[in-house]
Amino acid sequence: MEELSFVGKSVPRKDGAEKATGKALFTVDMVLPGMLWGKILRSPYPHAKILRIDTSRAERLPGVKAVIAGKDTLGIKHGFVETPRYAPDQYPLAMDRVRYIGEEVAAVAAIDEYVAEEALSLIQVDYEELPAVFDPEEAMKPEAPEIHPSHPKVKEPYKNIGGKTESGWGDVEKGFAESFLVREDRFDGQLRTHCYMEPQATLASFDFSRKLNVWTSSQGPFIKRAKLATTLGLPFSKVRVLKAYVGGAYGGKIDLFSHEFCASLLSIKAQRPVKIVCTREEVFEAARHGQPIFVELKTGVKKDGTLVAQQVKVINNSGGYRGSGVVVIFLCWGFVMLCYRIPNLKYEGYSVYTNNPVRAPQRGHGAPNLRFAVESQMDMIAEELGIDPVEIRLKNARQKGDILPNQDPVRNCGLVECIEKVAETTQFKAKYGRNRSLPRAKIRKGIGMGVSSYFSGSLIYPNASAAIVKLNDDGTVSLITGALDIGQGAETILSQIVAEELGVSMEDIRVVAADTENTPVDIGSWISGGAYVSGNAVKLAASDARRQLFEVAAQELEANPEDLVVKNREISVKDSPGRSISFTQAVAASIAKRRGNPIIGQGHYRTMKDVPAHPSLATTKGRWSDNYAFDAQVAEVEVYTETGQVKLVKATTAHDCGFPINPLIVEGQIDGQVSMAQGHALWEEVLMKEGETLTNSFIDYKIPCAKDMVESHYVDIITEKYEKDIPYRTKEVGEGYVSGMVAAIANAVYDATGVRVKTLPILPEKILMGLRKKGDS
């Protein structure tokens, strides 16, 4: 096989120097002449009717240039999901009712932040408070206050159902009856939040051609453009979303946010640029958090641990609007069925409205919680059967060649190898259970495993990616892509692909990215398809450019295109030293002799080329993804039995991401997810009381800091390969496939202490209580 020079190498980030020198401009850094500052007035009530909004005093305050409330909008709703079944349900500015504390009610633009802040205090809003409900299971009861009518297609007499997913196959009742052991457990996830370091921020500028230009801290410009244009009643072509560096997102910056809409409308109204930067408090209190989900899990197995039947019920607390609630209940089905072969399954997921802030995807979008449930129970079953955790997983693991219940083929799957290798590397079997025979120790060590899988791109608007690879007169290359680098390294890996295909160095490539007007469409950095879908689009564009270069070169060198090789911006005839032409010469020749063709390569790609749409969110029917990534992870912990504290000492990840385009970036993605899993499993929780956020700072909501750093090890399982001119099938690496770590930590804690915690986070008091209950403290 041809040796690769760039793909598969740990090439440093392309934007490294810009970021390391402070020159990279994030949305918060953007300034335009005449720029105004916007501020948002938010609801102080979890549930209330808006009777009257009087903005007149604010409008009269000197320095105020525009004030908007619901009546100034077109009253067009939006939603994370917009389908016939799930119609948009949220106004970008509240009209007649508010459904959570922090919901946006009005906004002002003024000459500075202080005047804007003062203007907010002059807006008079009369509310009539309504009864509110915060817990999803309370909200489902018939006597609960109605936040939105239950979805018409949900048959049960539950209230406040935003959506339902129902799926299954086989006969679970028969399966349970035939099982040797049946376990029923419930696992509760907590409310977590992203904690991207750059707060939500938007700069909008409505120009004289009546076009709206928007810089916003996001995860992809094309979905933002679509939602802004729709809610503002503008043609797509009159909204331009441009690139700015993004200071982290992790799922929390996908959907349309009110501040983006408000900055835009204020700019239209004031005819001046308007910038809104949310404070950290606003981010904690009113921006979207992750999805807290409850999982009821009933599993039947044979005596040897083979899965026979599984019944799963997932309840999600979606907050005052759907947000991504109806997506997470679909996805949880997927995260159940991907890793193990389950002959009989019954799945139901409910997304429930409550009077809490709306929820968004958060890295893994349900996978960490769902896998926490399944993998915890897997260990409980293994223990009851006297099988070790490795064997029970191997017995049930998904394998290459399987057809998933939705008919997706599992073309390549390294799960078995992941489990075997991670167990071997960590000496899992030797370490597992070692504490149980030891006398009571103050520090107990434990080891635990979790496995996970994730899809790699699916069909959600904008569905596809395209790219342009343009040769320049000096022989360098411009890559024009709609992909947005949010820190995951999109621009770097896409440049590596161009470098590989064209035989140019990383420095020879200039990237123009993420501009809805000047770059082609891109699926966005939120559907786990960047490396696969955008990567293949770029690969095709680069090989198109190379084909054109070779045609010219063949003519100039009087050779066959098949005999040409390319390296260092030079095309030469194989085995004929001296017969070569530089890119600069080739471009000049192409312009001179091919009617001015400057050599522009184009490519486009879409996952599942013949499939019309995303699978049904209601029934899960239909193809979901082309590629699935798999992993097995092991956590090694120390538990301090006097304090109940857990230290995650070492994390080992065996992962099948197809092949790593850039191993350094893959490692970085794994480290980041291990760190998030540590916080998720052990301490992070957004505490709320009657709709009010109590943890609204980094002091109250602690994320892992440097001293919490976990030793992270990686085992690469390579199941795919990269070859020139052939689309490749690498898999996602950014979110869900290392979602086994939360479960691995929980299982390691159990191994160390014998305490099984089923409600996250695994706080010290839960361990102490567990130890006391066992008479073991």
Which residues here bind another protein, judged by CB under 8 A? 10, 12-13, 15-26, 28-29, 194-199, 245-250, 279-280, 486-489, 664-665, 667-668, 671-676, 697-699, 703-712
Residue with Cβ nearer another protein (13 or 756): 13
Residue with Cβ nearer another protein (252 or 405): 252
Does an H or E element contain 648, and which? strand 645-656
Tell me the backbone φ, ψ of residue 567, rounded to 5 degrees.
Answer: -160, 140
Q: Which two tokens stand for residue 270?
A: 């004031």
Residue with Cβ nearer another protein (246 or 287): 246
CA 262 to chain CA centroid, Å, is 25
Tell me the sheet residues that pair with 42: 104
Q: How far is the CB of 208 from another protein (least distance, A)?
A: 26
Buried b (16+ CB within 10 A) or exposed e, 372-392: bbbbbbbbbbbbebebbbbbb
How far is residue 456's CA from residue 657's CA, in Å, rounded to a whole number? 9
How many CB atoms are located within 10 Å of the residue 429 CB?
A: 14
Q: How far is the CB of 710 from another protein (least distance, A)?
A: 7
Q: How far is the CB of 486 from another protein (least distance, A)?
A: 6
Q: How far is the CB of 698 from another protein (least distance, A)?
A: 4
Residue with Cβ nearer another protein (245 or 583): 245
Residue with Cβ nearer another protein (94 or 710): 710
How far is residue 261's CA from residue 257's CA, in Å, rounded to a whole number? 7
**Closest Cα partner for 692 from 170, 201, 134, 190?**
134
Q: How far is the CB of 668 from another protein (least distance, A)?
A: 5
Residue with Cβ nearer another protein (248 or 598): 248
Q: Which two tokens stand for residue 443?
A: 């520090």
Residue with Cβ nearer another protein (249 or 268): 249
Q: How far is the CB of 691 from another protein (least distance, A)?
A: 23
Tell me the sheet residues that pair with 453: 630
**Alpha-carbon distance values, 536 to 11, 30, 540, 549 (Å):** 19, 32, 6, 20
Residue with Cβ nearer another protein (210 or 707): 707
Q: How far is the CB of 525 from another protein (least distance, A)?
A: 11
Tell me the backbone φ, ψ of residue 222, rounded to 5 degrees.
Answer: -75, -40
Residue with Cβ nearer another protein (280 or 604): 280
Place of tokens 């009518």: 149
How many CB atoms are located within 10 Å of the residue 363 CB?
A: 24
Listing DSSP states for 722-743 in one string gives: --TTS-------SSGGGTTHHH
Residue with Cβ nearer another protein (484 or 553): 484
Q: How far is the CB of 24 from another protein (least distance, A)?
A: 6
Q: Which two tokens stand for residue 396?
A: 């049930």
Q: How far is the CB of 580 from another protein (least distance, A)?
A: 32
Q: Which two tokens stand for residue 652?
A: 């080992």
Q: Which two tokens stand for residue 261?
A: 């809409």
Q: How far is the CB of 463 from another protein (least distance, A)?
A: 26
Tell me the backbone φ, ψ of residue 95, rounded to 5 degrees.
Answer: -100, -75
